[in-house]
Amino acid sequence: MPRLTRGPWTAAGLAVALAAAAPILLSCTVNQVLSLSADGSGTLSTHAEVSPVLRDYLSSLAEVSGTDSPMSKGQVFDAAATRRDLQARPGLNVIRSATPTPASLDVDLGFDSLTDALRGEGALADAGAITLVSAGDRATLKLRLDRSTYGQLTALFPPLRDPVMQQLGPQGTGTVTESDYLDMIRFSIGDAAPGLLKKSFFTLTVHPAGEILSQSGGTIADGAVIFRIPVLRVLVLDRALEYSVTYRTGGS
């Protein structure tokens, strides 16, 4: 699919894009689990799944466009291509990349150093999008999502790399508000759409190496911090989204 031209939204342009991307916005779930060891190594597991409605939509779209891809055969994700892409990135070890069902993808990654892996992933650490800072016996993991880091942070949530989703993301210095988005999808899709979008989240669960000392933006449960990031907030980004967790590492 060709990359769409980015630019400030008009009401008509946003309505057209939303009509095309409605199934993606309202029918995709992404859950990620990040486990960190005291030395900065760890694993990242991702489960992405789309509804049967979205799978059928994507399959039909591929058939109409004549695209020779797994989608034309009803397979939403390409596990082999995902593995090749991730293996090419410095600092990452692909433990597993599989499609348990035609509409789901499971990816397990390992890394010896989260800091090194972030440097290899579009300079995320240098941009301040994700930072891991250690001081004495504690470490702080921070995630900041704003207009300047959005393009880099899409690496954390594969569905955001879709060209339509990229076009729907924050547009330069535009002033599209949550109300604008909700009005547009109500007009383009129907009265139920705003409620569905409000219930859509990206979920990142962080299991740190030791005792959780503090966190911001999430909730603590069973020794982990769960960050539920609203899809609507990510699409608008009229203000920065910031999340963090500070934990004890046991170092000196």
User: For the segment 57-75, what is each residue's pLDDT rounded down to a tens digit?
Assistant: 666 655 655 555 565 566 6
Q: Which two tokens stand for residue 92?
A: 């990452």
Q: Give a yes or no: residue 41 inside a domain.
A: yes
pTM, entire model: 0.76
Reported as a single tens digit per residue, the pLDDT across 118-167 is: 765 554 445 567 888 888 889 999 998 887 777 666 665 555 565 545 55
Q: What is the mean pLDDT of the chain?
A: 75
Segments forming the whole domain that contains residue 24: 11-248
* 47 pLDDT higher than 70: yes
Query: What pLDDT does residue 5 have?
Result: 35
Q: Give a yes or no: residue 111 inside a domain.
A: yes
In whole angstroms, give the CA distance from residue 158 to residue 93.
17
The values of phi and psi at residue 33, to 5°, are: -125, 120
Q: Give a yes or no: residue 81 inside a domain.
A: yes
Q: Give a yes or no: residue 51 inside a domain.
A: yes
* 250 pLDDT higher than 60: yes
Query: What pLDDT does residue 120 have?
Result: 58
Q: Give a yes or no: residue 1 inside a domain.
A: no
The values of phi and psi at residue 183, to 5°, are: -65, -40
In whole angstroms, give the CA distance from residue 148 to residue 243.
16
CA atoms within 13 A on the CB side of 244: 14
Give the orientation angle of helix 52-65 with respect to helix 11-27, to 10 degrees.
120
The most confident of 26-40, 50-64, 78-92, 96-110, by mean pLDDT: 96-110
Reported as a single tens digit per residue, the pLDDT across 92-119 is: 899 999 999 888 889 999 999 887 777 6
Averaged pLDDT, 17-29: 55
Query: What pLDDT does residue 207 have?
Result: 97
Secondary structure (3-state) at 125: helix
Q: Give first-to-last CA distance, the chain, whole Å.
A: 51
In whole angstroms, give the CA distance from residue 192 to residue 108.
35
| CA-CA-CA-CA torsion sign (115, 49, 230, 14) | positive
Q: Please count the structural domains in the chain.
A: 1
Averaged pLDDT, 44-59: 72
Cβ atoms of 53 and 27 closer than 8 Å: yes
With DSSP H G I counted as helix, E B as strand and the rest as coil, what are the percentages for the chain, rounded to 5? 40, 30, 30
In whole angstroms, give the CA distance from residue 118 to residue 142.
12
Q: Give a yes or no: residue 6 inside a domain.
A: no
Q: Give a yes or no: residue 122 inside a domain.
A: yes
* 178 pLDDT higher than 50: yes
Q: Give a yes or no: residue 48 inside a domain.
A: yes
